[in-house]
Structure 1
Amino acid sequence: MSSKPFTVDLNKPLVFQVGHLGEAYNEWVHQPIISKDGPRFFGNDFLEMLTRTVWWVIPLVWLPVISWLVSVSLSRGLTPSDAASCLAGGIFIWTLLEYTLHRFLFHMETRSYWANTLHYVLHGCHHKHPMDGLRLVFPPAATTILSVPLWIVIRLTSTPAVAPALFGGGLLGYVMYDVTHYYLHHGKPSPGLSQNLKRYHLNHHFRDQSEGFGITSPLWDRAFGTYPTTKSTQKNK
């Protein structure tokens, strides 16, 4: 006799429920609930608080850090023009990271309990509740942890003078990404570039999750053949 499929109770904390969906998780998480009221993640109030971040915290926390990183490079002999080039290079590196992480990590298909749970916390919750304004940006603590591998790679592959400014450029690219992402969901862009970018991103949410992995730019979607087609159908991948 087959067991009854697991049903998520949206009135209870979700994080430790979604893993029980097993193979049904991928379909469930791509059926969005359009509401500005975000779900509760944890029963514990402190853990719940850590999952919620207002958008302006991102530039408030990271822009001073970026400025300090550039000042370190300048103090180590980098010229202002070279520091600006490093910042631009770091932003470019971020655009590729943004695309790669979104496509291959945030949209990986999961089936096991813990893989489903981790995916939901990282990105699944955003697709399930795309208008949850307090979970659109990454909490600074999570960003700090995720940025450690990037810093290690940059430090090992560049000079002591270049590394801080290049890493600062990567962080600046991240800040641009997070505030842009928030704006695409909650802003009211005027006709032109920002409106086209919003249409391009919402296509990813509500039409076809297997296309449109860029947020701040469609550059890598065009390069790798994942730019949204005009008559795409939702594939839930």
Structure 2
Amino acid sequence: MCTLKMLPPFQQFLTLTEWYVIPLIWLPVVGWFILKSIRMDLTIPQVTLFMAFGIFIWTLLEYTLHRFLFHIKTKSYWGNTIHYLIHGCHHKHPMDGLRLVFPPAATAILLLPVWNLMNFLATPSTAPAMFGGGLLGYVIYDITHYYLHHGQPTSEVPKGLKKYHLNHHFRIQDRGFGITSPLWDKAFGTLPPLKLAKKNR
């Protein structure tokens, strides 16, 4: 269990999240944004297309956050403390099931600039579908992350993702930042070395 003695009990509580809370809270929000685009006369195929684009944007955001924020190098006391709260604790205690998904309160804060970005990039009718797709991508990411730590996959794709992610945790932490896919690791040259990947098989 990851203990954070420097935090008051209430703040510690805010960092603890059961995996099922994520779809329970955010899937209705996804549905609401999709309905918003439909009510502005977007067809189902159009909504599906913009949702897919939103999911694609999320995959890049997933990679970027993991690589450049979660693995940022810090030197100050407060920098180290914040980094530990955001991600360091997870690497120190990777099987702590209550800190494998992002707390909803923190997610809600981060969603505001993302929503503003979507509004800037898209039209009033397409922005909700894109945002809903991005939020759906986030839900898939968080559930996948939990499953890669605690699930026992039997088919090849999830088994490969689990090996890929555990390789990031236990062998080479400055590679393999993708969770739901190695797509952006391939694009940006952060795939783990082939020899390490083979040892994990």
Q: Normalising TM by the smaller chain, what interval?
A: over 0.9
Query: How far apart are 1:108 and its partner, in Å?
Result: 1.0
Query: How far apart are 1:77 and its partner, in Å?
Result: 1.3
Query: How far apart are 1:231 and its partner, in Å?
Result: 2.8
> Residues of 2 paired with 1:149 and 1:103: CA distance?
19
Distance change (3 Å), C-alpha of 1:120 and 1:217: same
Query: How far apart are 1:174 and its partner, in Å?
Result: 0.3
160, 179, 183: which one aligns with 1:215: 179
> Residues of 2 paired with 1:43 and 1:96: CA distance?
32
Amino acid paired to 1:133: G
Task: Work out the percentage of aligned pairs sharing the same amino acid.
Answer: 61
Distance change (3 Å), C-alpha of 1:42 and 1:51: farther
Contact 2:53/2:133 (8 A) holds in 1: yes
Residue number in structure 2 paired with 1:38: 2
Amino acid paired to 1:226: T
The TM-score, its normalising length taken from structure 2, stands at: 0.94
Distance change (3 Å), C-alpha of 1:219 and 1:43: closer
- Correspondences of 1:31-180 after superposition (within 5 Å): 37-180=1-144
Relative to structure 2, which stretch is displaced further, 121-130 or 171-180? 121-130
183, 188, 191: which one aligns with 1:224: 188
**Higher helix proportion:** 2
> Residues of 2 paired with 1:101 and 1:136: CA distance?
15
Question: How many residue pairs are counted as aligned between the two chains?
Answer: 197
Q: Deviations over 1:87-109 (max 9, x none)?
A: 10100000000001111111111
Amino acid paired to 2:69: L
Contact 2:2/2:89 (8 A) holds in 1: no
Considering only aligned residues, what root-mean-square deviation do their CA atoms show, in Å?
1.3
- Structure 1: tracts of 5 or more residues without a match: 1-36
Distance change (3 Å), C-alpha of 1:158 and 1:191: closer
- Structure 2: tracts of 5 or more residues without a match: none
Amino acid paired to 2:8: N
> Residues of 2 paired with 1:167 and 1:191: CA distance?
31
190, 195, 200: which one aligns with 2:164: 200
Residue number in structure 2 paired with 1:6: none
> Residues of 2 paired with 1:61 and 1:78: CA distance?
25
The TM-score, its normalising length taken from structure 1, stands at: 0.80
> Residues of 1 paired with 2:179 and 2:5: CA distance?
25
Amino acid paired to 1:182: Y
Query: How far apart are 1:167 and its partner, in Å?
Result: 0.4
Amino acid paired to 1:104: F
Query: How far apart are 1:54 and its partner, in Å?
Result: 0.2
Residue number in structure 2 paired with 1:32: none
Contact 2:22/2:142 (8 A) holds in 1: yes
> Residues of 1 paired with 2:24 and 2:10: CA distance?
22
Contact 2:178/2:185 (8 A) holds in 1: yes
Amino acid paired to 1:62: W
SS, match of residue 114 in structure 2: helix
> Residues of 1 paired with 2:49 and 2:5: CA distance?
41
Query: How far apart are 1:113 and its partner, in Å?
Result: 1.1
Residue number in structure 2 paired with 1:10: none
